[in-house]
Structure 1
Amino acid sequence: MQTPIEIAFKHVEPTDEIKELISEKATRLETFHDGITSCHVYVRAPHQSQKTGNLYEVTIEVRIPGHELVVRRDKDDQPEREHLKVAIRDAFDAMQEELKSAARKQQGQVKHHDGPLQGKIVEIRQEEGYGQIIATDNRLIYFHENSVVDGDFGDLAQGDPVEMVVQAKESAIGPQASTVRRIGGLEYDPGR
């Protein structure tokens, strides 16, 4: 790190043990990204709640060239956060994931999908108007007859290769395709 770690406490007694724990975890962050220029850690205990007790808020700000990464674990999270060491651990674990992701992006290791998701129909219920697709990423995707484009739902059969667009928000029955289109063949067949 180019600048020393900065630690700030609010409504929390800054014990040597906690300061040392934070310093160790901050130093360890450099193993996940070697371009860290600064790290600021804010530890705050909000007012006491009669139901859950003190739930600590831990915010970590890390700067790397071109980016500022921020992780905040606060009182709205799990009740385990009433233990300061757990709140610190969870916040640093989340920051490690952020740094790993940033390092992959910088090294160009981010996965790029070539075109729409593909799969093959594993179940079709013509009379009920729905079916299921096993996608090339091995997810089982539900689709409704209204999602079929460039063709007719009645023309589809089990085993047909398709490409699809999966809705960002999962429905109550799991992932659902917003559009399904029959194609010629699959580059990767999940059924083999």
Structure 2
Amino acid sequence: MQKPLQLSFKNIDGSDAMKAVVRERVDRLDRMYPSLIGCRVVIEAPHRSAQGSRPPLGISIEAEIPGKPMIVARDAEEHRSAADQGTIVNRTFDVVERQLDDATRIAHGEVKTHEAAGESGSVTRVFPEQGYGFVEAKAAGNLYFTRNAVVDGRFDELTVGTIVHLTLATGEGPMGPQASSIRLLGADRRSE
């Protein structure tokens, strides 16, 4: 890894055994995925119950790989022993390994990507009275879309610069290439 392991404990004392399990699993990730940039692990007891029983144990793992979104896995459960703690840590690391496997297969072209899967774009023009607009996407260029193509009936929320996820239609519309669906991303994410 390019960055050292970041391991922290919140509201719980980190035992040497727990630290050893985490380091062993991170070393395994590093061997299996040489492009791994870094890994951050947070183990916490989110709250204590009023009955005085053992608190639940929560774990959050973030793995950073080049050119992809952060891989994140979280889990929580009430634990009774040190073995239970190891089980939740291992189970959460197994999820991270599966996500890294998927990312690696996609990067090596072992997974088919579909053209209809879509891409992000930015609204360039909107004609609310006529019920259509245009969106610009990096790979597809300028695309026409109608009010009906906007998911969840959110056409009236569109303004120039709104960032959207779009799916390219298989055929052309009355104004040329078109988007078959437009989905707003996030809450009010716009480019300037």
* TM-score, reference length from structure 2: 0.52
Compared CA separation, residues 113 and 80, structure 1 to 2 (3 A): farther
Matches of 2:88 and 2:29, distance apart in 1: 16
**Alpha carbons 1:32, 1:103 under 8 Å: kept:** no
Q: Determine helix, strand or coil for the equivalent of 2:25.
A: helix
Secondary structure in structure 2 of the residue aligned to 1:62: strand
Contact 2:64-2:71 at 8 Å conserved across structures? yes
Counterpart for residue 39 of structure 1: 39
CA RMSD of aligned residues (A): 2.6
Residue 48 of structure 1 is matched in structure 2 by 48
Distance 1:87 1:52 in 2: 18
Residue of structure 2 in register with 1:91 after alignment: 92
**Structure 2 unaligned spans of 5+:** 117-192
Report the equivalent of 2:103. Answer: 102
Equivalent position of 1:17 in the other structure: 17
Give runs of aligned pairs for residues 24-173 of structure 1, distance below 5 A.
24-49=24-49, 50=51, 53-67=54-68, 68-75=70-77, 79=78, 83-111=84-112
Q: Secondary structure at the match of 2:30?
A: helix
SS of residue in 2 equivalent to 1:34: coil
> Helix, strand or coil: the match of 2:7?
strand
- Distance in 2, matches of 1:113 and 1:3, equals 34
- Residue 30 of structure 1 deviates from its aligned partner by 2.5
Contact 2:57 2:79 in 1 (8 A): no
Q: Which residue pairs with 1:165 in the alignment?
A: none
Is this contact kept in 2: 1:6–1:39, CA < 8 A? Answer: yes
How many Å separate the matches in 2 of 1:48 and 1:35?
39
How many Å separate the matches in 1 of 2:80 and 2:59? Answer: 9
For residues 33 and 41 of structure 2, the distance between their equivalents in structure 1, rounded to whole angstroms, comes to: 17
Change (3 A) 1:3 1:113: closer
Partner AA of 2:107 in structure 1: Q
Deviation at residue 16 of structure 1 after TM alignment = 1.5
**1:114/1:40 CA distance change after superposition, 3 Å:** closer
- Give the secondary-structure state (helix, strand or coil) at the position aligned to 2:56: coil
Tell me how far 1:66 sits from its aligned partner: 1.4
Distance 1:111 1:71 in 2: 24
- Helix, strand or coil for the counterpart of 2:46? coil
| Alpha-carbon distance in 1 for matches of 2:80, 2:108 | 34
Percent identical: 30
TM-aligned CA distance change 1:6 to 1:96, over 3 Å: same
Q: CA deviation at 1:88?
A: 0.5
Q: CA deviation at 1:97?
A: 0.4
Contact in 2 for aligned 1:71/1:95 (Cα 8 Å): yes
Unaligned runs of 5+ in 1: 116-192
Offset, 1:34: 2.0
Give the distance between the partners of 1:81 and 1:70, measured in 2 at CA: 25
Q: Distance in 2 between matches of 1:66 and 1:35?
A: 10
Aligned to 2:7: 7
